[in-house]
Amino acid sequence: MSTVVEEEEKETGRVEAFSDGVFAIAITLLVLEIPVTHPDTVPHGKHLADVVLQQGPNFAAYLVSFVTILVMWLNHHSIFQMVRRIDRLFLVLNGFLLLLVTFINYPTALVANFIATDDERFAAAFYAGTFVIIAVIYNLLWWRAAGGMRLIGKRVPAEQVARMTRQYQFGPILYLLTFALAFVNAWASLALNGALALYFAFTGQIERTA
């Protein structure tokens, strides 16, 4: 019996380690969307400070996406603190989640490049819409693990699982608000995305109970 448990925990650890690597790569690639100005490209009559200040949207998009991916990694870690077994559907859902995590670089670039143009609302909506889908995938991943406690460790209290379920249920709704807000004010939508990332960063729990 102990051998089976050890094998299950080993397999779960492998999935989390692989996922951690993907999160690390995704969060690192974000900085590549901030162009480094070469001396020859500074417009005549302007200083480097002027060029850097004009990159404000790039820095804002980078910051929001970095914090959001960081929070997603924290939530992912929280799930794996409770999961002690995995099945094929859980692996597939985890794979889709990682697909979207690596995709965040693209909507981040859209927001950074179009936030001050006529297309800023579409860019902000595309950006927020990506997080809506991610929030849904997180709910599906957690549902697969927590439904009937099928993949949860035996020592995890049912109340802890229920609390986690309630937290995840609000995710898609809150990110839908950022999506709707994008069609009204792109900057407000980006700011709300950042605020949600900070909120979820300090409301989640990481407990080793399994």
Query: Is 105 among the domain residues?
Result: yes
- Pair of tokens at residue 111: 């927001």
Query: Is 48 among the domain residues?
Result: yes
According to DSSP, residue 151 is labeled S
Instruction: Give pTM, 2 decimals.
Output: 0.86
Q: What is the pLDDT of residues 128-184, one digit of tens each?
A: 999 999 999 999 999 999 988 889 988 888 888 988 888 888 889 999 999 999 999
What is the rounded CA–CA span in Å between residue 145 and residue 80? 10
22-50 per-residue burial string, b: 16 or more CB within 10 A, e: under 16:
bbeebbeebeebeeeeeeeeeeeeeeeee
Q: Kindly tell me the sign of the dihedral angle through the C-alpha atoms of 30, 70, 141, 200.
A: negative
Query: Is 51 among the domain residues?
Result: yes
| Region of 44 on the Ramachandran plot (φ > 0 left; ψ -120 to 50 alpha; else beta) | beta
- Residues across the chain: 210
Query: Is 210 among the domain residues?
Result: no
Give the residue from 94, 84, 88 showing the smallest Cα distance to 10.
84
Query: Is 147 among the domain residues?
Result: yes
Query: Is 33 among the domain residues?
Result: yes
- Pair of tokens at residue 152: 């949860």
Q: What is the pLDDT of residues 97-118, one digit of tens each?
A: 999 999 999 999 999 889 889 9
- Pair of tokens at residue 107: 């909507």
Query: Is 208 among the domain residues?
Result: no
Q: What is the pLDDT of residues 190-210, one digit of tens each?
A: 999 999 988 888 876 555 554
Query: Is 209 among the domain residues?
Result: no
Number of structural domains in the chain: 1
Domain that holds residue 94: 2-203
